[in-house]
Amino acid sequence: MSDEHEKAFLFDQLGCIKNIRGDYDIFQHALSSHPSQLLISYKNIACMHNIMGEYSKSLPFYQQALDIEQNTLPLNHPDMATPHSNIGLVFQEMGEYWRAFSFFEKALDIRQKALPPFHPDLAVSYTSIGCVYKDMGEYSKSLPLYDKALEIYRKVLPPNHSLLAASQNNVDLMYSKMDEYSKALSSYEQVLEIYEQTLSAQHPDFATFYSNTGSVYYKMGEYSKALSFFECAIDIAQHSLPPNHPLHQILISNIEVIKEKL
């Protein structure tokens, strides 16, 4: 490790320690002549708080990271979209949806000006804004944004890419929420085909997929089919998810309700 790299590593560790103690002065002074390392440290600390669910604590570090990038990059540089998205995600997790919109839309505006029309980062922005509408229960507004993301992924990704399946799942979920069950089921078949090509048979994504499909059949009143999918889901969940995962209890409850109806 070179002297400069060793210094950067030590400064980064010092920053984390001082952050835990609530003393930032030494940390900021130590890295003041290394803005790139300071930027990385702010992002890492913010990410740590996010993982711990301490969103209000992560916010000032993401904001300081944004300030550094605003001072070092042109305002419409495509890399400027990421710090705006990071802050948007924090506000979304905090339930402050309109503030999340503001940052997600800024990220989208930067990407629309800086990137070609079918760049995958645009799909990320459309998905982020669609997720906020979904969280607000405004499914009809979420659907066209998920559709835009899916259109981009279809153009730039191979047909069996897992990200394409995830994007298709977002669209399917909106159809289900809007009671358009036949459209949801039709799309689920495409997702299943991708999963079968890319995932192991006991992958937890299969548990979620079968659970979602079972929910659609349940809403349609086709309880026998719903039960079959829920049982497939719980079998996979028992092999691939930790015992305290919430999907276990959801599936158990769903199966109990269906058995009472049969």
Predicted local confidence at residue 124, as pLDDT: 95
Query: Which residue in the block uniquely carries the two structure tokens 């995600």?
Result: 89
Q: Do the Cβ atoms of 105 and 119 come closer than 8 Å?
A: no
According to the model, what pLDDT value does residue 35 have? 59
Token code pair at residue 11 = 């400064």
User: pTM, whole model, 2 decimals?
Assistant: 0.77
Hey, how many other C-beta atoms are within 10 angstroms of the C-beta on 200?
Answer: 10
Three-state DSSP state, 38:
helix
What is the distance, to the nearest Å, from the Cα of residue 116 to the centroid of all Cα atoms in its chain? 23
pLDDT (0 to 100) of residue 175: 92
Q: Using CA atoms, how far apart are residues 19 and 13, in angstroms rounded to an integer? A: 10
Cβ contact 128:104 at 8 Å: yes
Crossing angle of helices 81-93 and 97-114, rounded to 10°: 160
Q: Which domains does the chain have, with CATH numbers?
A: 1-72 (1.25.40), 82-196 (1.25.40.10), 199-262 (1.25.40)
Nearest by Cα to 187 from 208, 211, 169: 169
Q: Which amino acid is at 17?
A: I
Amino acid code (one letter) for 30 = A
User: What is the longest distance spanned by two Cα atoms in the chain?
Assistant: 71
Instruction: From first to last of the 262 residues of the chain, give the pLDDT tens digit.
Output: 444 444 444 344 444 434 444 444 544 544 455 557 777 878 888 888 878 888 888 888 888 888 888 888 887 889 899 999 999 999 999 999 999 999 999 999 999 999 999 999 999 999 999 999 999 999 999 999 999 999 999 999 998 888 898 899 899 889 999 999 988 888 788 888 888 888 899 999 999 999 999 999 999 999 999 999 999 999 999 999 888 888 999 999 999 999 998 8
Q: In this predicted structure, what is the pLDDT of residue 34? A: 56
- Give the integer Cα–Cα distance in Å for 49 and 260: 44
**Of 193, 224, 220, 221, the residue nearest 209 (C-alpha):** 193
The confidence score (pLDDT) of residue 5 equals 44
